A and B are shown apart, each in its own frame.
Chain A
Amino acid sequence: MREDMGLIVKTTARAIIPLIGIFGAYIVMHGHLTPGGGFQGGATIAGAGILFLVAFGLDEMKKHYNKSLYSVLEGVGGLAFLGAAMLGMGVAFFYNTLWHNGPFFNGEPGTLLSAGFLPIMNLAVGLKVFTGLVSALTAIALYRRWKS
């Protein structure tokens, strides 16, 4: 049985995977301005990974997938979220000190560089969700014994 799908699907996947990735990054970055945010954007980018896995097959995915790297990136996402929450620890946990008196991310509300630590947290959650979902789906695809 063939491991990958046909030529049309593979060519379409080559064209669409960057599109999904860029659109997911757009959703993550504009989480404080438009619908979506960390989880939605991360799940969208993970959809690109799943499309890669389905269109090109498991052997090709094994070459491009690094278990240690994805585990580390998932941990880094969680730690970045926690680190952003700790920034205003002098006042309170989750105190948005970047917005009140920070050096950056305190622009006019409605612009991209506003809302304090929310963009950082969206990026962290997006990274965590993307790596977690891709790792989970790859692990499920690797589990290939149908009997016992």
Chain B
Amino acid sequence: MIEPVFFYAALIISIGAFLAILRILLGPTVPDRVVGVDTLNTLVVAGMVLLGAAYDRTIYIDIAIVYALLSYIGTLIVARYLQGGLK
């Protein structure tokens, strides 16, 4: 049973993700791009949950949880590099 409303919501999420990608491409400084990637991670998690609901598969939610946890670590590592903690 495929609900079309979840696909519409995922489409809106993908428009937001496109805007975040635009910020990553255009961002004048590095922290701008980091914030863009962080936003994109959150939007991807939202899109994964919505598509898991759209295709009616509960096991797809697991992948969204893993992505949310690992994207946090990735952002943290970039932030640590930018603050100069690796000297």
- Which residues of A approach B to under 8 Å, CB–CB? 1-3, 5, 9, 16, 19-20, 23, 27, 34-36, 40, 44, 47, 50-51, 54-55
| Chain B interface extent, by class | 10 to 19
Asked if A23 and B76 make an inter-chain contact with CB atoms under 8 angstroms apart, the answer reads: no
Q: Indicate if B22 sits at the interface (CB-CB under 8 A).
A: no
Min CB gap A142→B, angstroms: 12
Interface SS of A by simple majority: helix
C-beta contact mask, B61-87 vs A, less than 8 Å → 1, else 0? 011011001101100110010001101
Min CB gap A78→B, angstroms: 25
Asked if A1 and B66 make an inter-chain contact with CB atoms under 8 angstroms apart, the answer reads: no
Q: Which residues of A contact B77 (CB under 8 A)?
A: 50, 54
Q: Check A35/B62 contact, CB under 8 A, given A1-B84, A20-B69.
A: yes
Residue of A nearest to B81 (CB): A54
Give 19 CB contacts A-B under 8 Å.
Answer: A1-B85, A5-B85, A9-B76, A16-B69, A16-B72, A23-B69, A35-B60, A35-B62, A36-B62, A40-B66, A44-B66, A44-B69, A47-B69, A47-B70, A47-B73, A50-B77, A51-B76, A54-B76, A54-B80
